[in-house]
Chains A and B, each alone.
Chain A
Amino acid sequence: MRARRAVEVAFLVAAPLALFLLLGELALRVYLRTHIFYDVEMSRYALALKVDSPNPLIGHHHRPSSEARLMGVSIRTNADGFRDDEYPVARGEARRIVFLGDSLTLGWGVEKEETFEHLLERALDARTPTEVVNLGVGNYNTTQEVNLLLEKGLKYDPDQVVLFYFINDAEPVPQKSRFPGLGHSRLVTFYWSRIKALRARLSDSVGFETYYSDLYREGSEGWARSRSALSQLAALGREHGFDLRVVLLPELHRLADYPFAREHALVTQHLNGIGVPVLDLAPFFRNESDPHSLWVSLDDAHPNARAHRLIAEYTLDFIAERGRS
């Protein structure tokens, strides 16, 4: 009798859960045929295009020669795993620039032709023949960006390297998920994402402003590693004879009263100290009264096509200033 009761209790716990997971997954997949969730798309990005790198300082890179439709746009990678055209390693006469960065440089959420990388390449090429090789990979920090340059970028023998720095570049190298299979479930991804959003809504301590500011606290390991990677990049520039520049991309939540001015000043101060020209774009966006008009979508604060156009416009002269030193 007691055993039968235990079976009934187990059934009443497990059966509704299993049924809900099955029906919820089906319902969500039907809903997502016509709607886009940022976190689900990021999870799909990881599964479709990211692979482990044998180099722990890189962590992950893009699967070469692959394509996925993410956030409503196509992302196609070349034989090196870059979201770019195929460039021969041997140089021609054109000036060659390598862009380093994360998902913003990759052009997450915008078509390739709308990315600031593409717009800058076209504008620079109109002045003097120029090729821009885009090494932007989602979720990269400065350490990963510099190590990707070492592993795959230097062979292109660039005249110039431009690193597009974002406030989260001082994060530690991201770790692989402990439960990689769960990313296949849209329902699990939805719950993971929404519970995170709920916590942020109920507590300021887990919001993005506190999180990003904390990356630059006195003694922060991530910021120390980021500084070290920037110094390493400057040394590489001297060794290989390329002109190095850094562009600080703005975080697009609050532009009129920018909350990360102190953090941008810290990065600028470090770059000035090691002799690297830097352009902070945050002040250029100060007069944007509606930050959401620059977002890919309401649940995704990556820059949209308009923001990419502005970034390209504000950055053009800074990049065009100099060629090979």
Chain B
Amino acid sequence: MIGSLIKKYRWHLVGIVAIYAAISVWLFFFTDSPQTVPFEYEIH
């Protein structure tokens, strides 16, 4: 079942992952500037 879905929608998969990757790269460069937010920490 999963195999057939992957085969049927493989280009959809590639396309959507590519969009996610493009958003990540945009976010990386667009926010890659001097720190503008307060110090914040994950406690655990």
Q: How far is the CB of B23 from chain A (nearest CB, A)?
A: 10
Q: Are A46 and B43 in contact (CB under 8 A)?
A: yes
Q: Are A24 and B21 in contact (CB under 8 A)?
A: yes
Q: Kindly identify which residue among A11, A17, A50, A292 contacts B5, using a CB–CB cutoff of 8 Å.
A: A11
CA distance A180 to B41 in the complex (A): 12
A-B contact pairs, 30 of them (CB 8 A): A8-B5, A12-B9, A15-B5, A16-B16, A17-B20, A20-B16, A20-B20, A42-B41, A43-B42, A46-B41, A46-B43, A47-B44, A50-B44, A59-B43, A103-B39, A103-B41, A138-B41, A177-B44, A180-B44, A189-B42, A191-B24, A194-B28, A196-B40, A197-B31, A197-B33, A206-B37, A207-B36, A208-B38, A298-B35, A301-B34
Q: A residues bordering B, Cβ < 8 Å?
A: 7-8, 11-12, 15-17, 19-20, 23-24, 38, 42-43, 45-47, 50, 52, 59-60, 103, 138-139, 168, 174-177, 180, 183, 189-191, 194-198, 200-201, 206-208, 211-212, 253, 292, 295, 298-302
Chain A residues with CB under 8 A of B5: 7-8, 11, 15
Q: B residues bordering A, Cβ < 8 Å?
A: 1-2, 5-6, 9, 12-13, 16-17, 20-21, 24, 27-28, 30-44
Q: How far is the CB of B29 from chain A (nearest CB, A)?
A: 10
Q: Are A194 and B31 in contact (CB under 8 A)?
A: yes
Chain B residues with CB under 8 A of A207: 36-37
Chain B residues with CB under 8 A of A197: 31, 33, 36-37
Chain B residues with CB under 8 A of A59: 43
Q: How far is the CB of B17 from chain A (nearest CB, A)?
A: 5
Question: Majority SS of interface residues in chain A?
Answer: helix
Q: Are B30 and A198 in contact (CB under 8 A)?
A: yes
Q: How far is the CB of A322 from chain B (nearest CB, A)?
A: 31
Chain B residues with CB under 8 A of A302: 39
Q: How far is the CB of B21 from chain A (nearest CB, A)?
A: 7
Chain B residues with CB under 8 A of A168: 38-39
Chain B residues with CB under 8 A of A45: 41
